Structure 1
Amino acid sequence: MVTSSEHRPSTVGELRESGHIQRTVKEEIRENLLAALRDGRDPWPGIVGFEETVEPQLERALIAGHDVVLLGERGQGKTRLLRTLNLLLDEWTPVIAGSELGEHPYEPITPASIRRAQELGDSLPVAWRHRSERYSEKLATPDTSVADLVGDVDPVKVAEGRSLGDPETIHFGLVPRAHRGIVAINELPDLAERIQVSLLNVMEERDIQVRGYTLRLPLDVLMVASANPEDYTNRGRIITPLKDRFGAEIRTHYPTRLDDEVAVILQEAHLTAEVPEYLLEILARFTRLLRESTSVDQRSGVSARFAVAGAETVSAAAVHRGAVLGEADPVARPVDLETVVDVLRGKVEFESGEEGREIEVLEHLLRRATADTVRTRLGGIDLAELVDAVEQGDPVVTGERITAKALLNELPELEVLDELAERLGAESDGERAAAAEFALEGLYLARRISKNPDINGQTVYS
């Protein structure tokens, strides 16, 4: 139902006169999803790399009205995907004004709302709830209790004079409070098994039980969850009866294409300085090589957050250099990639046999990623002129204490440098210095020039 903000019905009588039709959450999501697909709109904004795999599976599950669990290693975008589900809800939905569970005005379910509906009839007040308020998320932690999820007796209400048998003494938990909305549980296996049991009735019978109360609430919720694959997690498991109640289990994955990996970095990273796209491509290739390496524990995975944090670190290194050396518009250069290994090695889990070799493995894979990117980006450019200039002239010194202008001043005027700048879209001094350094690093990796540190810790190409 679409109504303007000024003319929304404020009572049940007005709501019926407007022609409003009540729908369950799953019907609402199904119809809005189908409408988006028919109109050619993307139901999953901000989700990259799942277009041909995960998204079609999830769409079929939602059309079927299934509760869903997403299985995948860390950093695959499971939570991000779950948080887009609320965009499939109606933007505004009517609720009984003042109701604890946000019940539909046509169908009160708590004793207090039922009593009010009988007393007020068509004058029952209606409020409007935005879809952002209809998504509830809980990170499953070992200390989560049944009271957190389902509810418990509220001693304050008992102290006010109500008897223990009165269902209005119940303080409702997260799941019933999400009535007519979406409940997302992150890292579901981390829930203690006895706590998972409390969700069985919610998943199948759509009601709750609190400390033996004969209270049946016909809850209208979509249950979704995320989990690491059960075959490797040591923290817990999803109990079989609960797993059976999820209508769909969908496996997520890391981006399968390099351009998707770069797109994730561009979307998620907060860059404080300009980072040329070829440096982001190096980080994306580096991350993908880590996921293929036998030295890395692949059961743990290498999160997309690794590449994102790497891009932010490289950007920060450029800003740091700009602050120290007085560069107004700092641009990241290949020399800044060295900071990634030192800062981010703790984000990768290595196999037990690789103890003590972590830095060596990371540096080797970073060199491979750089070499692959140079071949891709600079293929067809003859760099012999640059090699001759380095061999016949003075060594080229770069590093975190060398400005872009200083680096460019060390190089003679060469046509190949202009060709490099044009190929890589480099215009400013910072961009041209980064392009020249990119080519020099490629020549070093191809063993056409040498690279050594000097006494000041700078890098010397000669």
Structure 2
Amino acid sequence: MNYEKIKTLGDLKKSDYQSKDIKTELRDNLIAKMQKGEKVFDHVIGYDNTVIPDIQRAILARHNINLLGLRGQAKTSIARAMTLLLDEYIPVVEGAELNDDPLEPVSRYARDLIEEKGDKTPVSWMHRSERYTEKLATPDVTITDLIGDIDPIKAANQKLSYNDERVIHFGLVPKANRGIFVINEIPDLQARIQVALFNILQEGDIQIRGFKLRINLDLQFVFTANPEDYTNRGSIITPLKDRIQSQIITHYPKSIDISKQITHQEARILPDQEKKVYVAPILQDMLEMIAFEARESEFIDQKSGVSARLSISAYEDLIGSAERRAIINREKKTTARIGDFIGVIPAITGKVELVYEGEQEGAIGVAHKLINRVIRKVFPQYFPDPEMIKRRKEESPYAEIIKWFAKNDLVLGSDLKDKKFHEKLVSVPGLKELVKKYHPKADATEQFLFMELILHGLAEYSLISKNIDEEGMSFKDMMNSMFSFDDDDFNGDL
């Protein structure tokens, strides 16, 4: 259809355009895409066999939808992606506040204009990107905001009676007519405001200040809610919940690989950063595991959830930490280290809600514990498990390394140049040989990363000690560390 040539109601009548409500529009376009084998929510990762099929069923059934899930589960992203199922352009009566269909006008303005000008009524075309309205539900939202109210200024300026519907100031919902209207965190909406949505959801019309006014609105509603909100801040009242035909449960990524895909898609990494900083796959896995550990931690409120944004922000911080070191040392390129995980702590502390035990540990302490748990889990995947060696009374492959720490310390500063960092790792007898024994095919970059992993792993299995101070990270003999400390040695311990 040539939209540019259709400028009046008469032109529209001569074309092959047929009016359809938004739910039918979404349904028809979804069917067309499915028949062609096209993905609709291709940027929403990890929901292919769970959430997306439920959304497709709801759209096919022409339902309003409530997306129920914890923070950071792509609820709003799904709602925004639904605009791709709308027609690219739809005709509207030019100047109509309610985006009236020229063939089926609903507002007084559009009806009067068509009655006055007939087929010469001007028509404009509305792009699908303009047909999406989003409102965050907060306690201060009013019925006037959502539905509308009488506007005394309009009545005075136009010399109209308060009984004339033209004095009405329409709210966000009527102005979103023929579009997708999203209310985020619906339980936060006051109960009396939720009541105002009853008629719109069930009958499709609105009521304002007792007006005998019936405007058949054409809307696709999408609500989002966090299960925690049902008890902490409010709830979806039962009659409203009853009118939302499909409630779809979202979830967190079920695997590290899916979580990594989400992180790489959403992280805002500049091309310059990608050239300057290399993040090894093992570090990427460890970073994602932090979120998985947080979702099982006894220190964190699991009802609140741990957003996927934790991994995204942590990845950005990890690269930022390595990039900062490269800038300070005037290095063109660097490799992220396990020691750089200290730099992701701010991304963790701001993304978790602590229970009482967590508050006792402190947010930074909990972040350290999460990182340590990840290291402890990852280490046996690449090197012999120290606990299994002890249990079987086998000779330890780490004996030479542990013996060296009995008389020596190793300080790995956060801002050490790569060359100096590598020299310090090589200075530990047996460390490089151990990597070559268990990972003979590892390249130079991987070798140094594995050497660092051994040190962190031995510390997590209490075979050597690990401390953090202003100089950076230091590794020492376990016994010497226990008998030669002062009060400050416990500050910042991992």
- Give the TM-score, by structure 1 length: 0.89
Match of 2:308 in 1: 304
- Answer whether contact 1:70 1:226 (CA < 8 A) is retained: yes
- Answer whether contact 1:271 1:311 (CA < 8 A) is retained: no
- Answer whether contact 1:281 1:373 (CA < 8 A) is retained: no
Rounded to whole Å, the distance in 1 between the matches of 2:329 and 2:476 is 21
- Answer whether contact 1:196 1:239 (CA < 8 A) is retained: yes
Matches within 5 A, 1:206-245: 206-229=204-227, 233-245=231-243
Rounded to whole Å, the distance in 2 between the matches of 1:291 and 1:212 is 49
Tell me whether 1:11 sits opposite 2:8 in the alignment. yes
Gaps (5+ residues) in structure 2?
Answer: 386-395, 478-494
Gaps (5+ residues) in structure 1?
Answer: none
Match of 1:437 in 2: 452
Residues 440 and 11 (structure 1), Cα distance of their counterparts in 2 relative to 1, 3 Å cut? same
Residue by residue over 1:188-209, the C-alpha shift from the partner in whole angstroms, topping out at 9 and shown as x without a partner, is: 0111111111111100110111
Deviation at 1:271, TM superposition (A): 3.2
Tell me whether 1:71 sits opposite 2:68 in the alignment. yes
Matches within 5 A, 1:6-155: 7-155=4-152
Rounded to whole Å, the distance in 1 between the matches of 2:440 and 2:26 is 49
Match of 1:365 in 2: 370
Rounded to whole Å, the distance in 2 between the matches of 1:399 and 1:8 is 68
- Answer whether contact 1:142 1:191 (CA < 8 A) is retained: yes
Matches within 5 A, 1:285-364: 285-341=289-345, 344-358=348-362, 359-364=364-369
- Answer whether contact 1:454 1:460 (CA < 8 A) is retained: no
Residue by residue over 1:391-421, the C-alpha shift from the partner in whole angstroms, topping out at 9 and shown as x without a partner, is: 6698654231211121123355957768999
Residues 461 and 52 (structure 1), Cα distance of their counterparts in 2 relative to 1, 3 Å cut? farther
Q: Which moved more, 1:65-74 or 1:341-350?
A: 341-350
- Answer whether contact 2:229 2:235 (CA < 8 A) is retained: no
Letter in 2 for 1:402: L
The match for 2:245 among 204, 228, 247 is 247
Residues 457 and 447 (structure 1), Cα distance of their counterparts in 2 relative to 1, 3 Å cut? same
Deviation at 1:292, TM superposition (A): 1.3
Rounded to whole Å, the distance in 2 between the matches of 1:437 and 1:259 is 24
Letter in 1 for 2:200: V
Residues 131 and 270 (structure 1), Cα distance of their counterparts in 2 relative to 1, 3 Å cut? same
Deviation at 1:450, TM superposition (A): 5.4
2:100 alignment partner, SS class: coil
1:355 alignment partner, SS class: helix
Q: Which moved more, 1:129-138 or 1:281-290?
A: 281-290
The match for 2:474 among 436, 439, 459 is 459
Q: Which moved more, 1:44-53 or 1:436-445?
A: 436-445
Match of 2:203 in 1: 205
Match of 1:171 in 2: 169
% identical aligned pairs: 40
- Answer whether contact 1:397 1:407 (CA < 8 A) is retained: no
Deviation at 1:216, TM superposition (A): 0.9
Root-mean-square deviation (CA, aligned residues, Å) is 2.9
Letter in 2 for 1:333: R
1:23 alignment partner, SS class: coil
- Answer whether contact 2:425 2:452 (CA < 8 A) is retained: no
- Answer whether contact 2:194 2:240 (CA < 8 A) is retained: yes
Rounded to whole Å, the distance in 1 between the matches of 2:90 and 2:433 is 65
Rounded to whole Å, the distance in 2 between the matches of 1:72 and 1:420 is 43
Rounded to whole Å, the distance in 2 between the matches of 1:38 and 1:426 is 50
Deviation at 1:426, TM superposition (A): 6.7
Rounded to whole Å, the distance in 1 between the matches of 2:236 and 2:141 is 15
Letter in 2 for 1:236: G
Aligned length in residues: 453
2:360 alignment partner, SS class: coil
Tell me whether 1:157 sits opposite 2:172 in the alignment. no
Residues 170 and 425 (structure 1), Cα distance of their counterparts in 2 relative to 1, 3 Å cut? farther
Residue by residue over 1:251-288, the C-alpha shift from the partner in whole angstroms, topping out at 9 and shown as x without a partner, is: 11111112111112112222354333322211211111
Deviation at 1:338, TM superposition (A): 1.9
Letter in 1 for 2:339: V
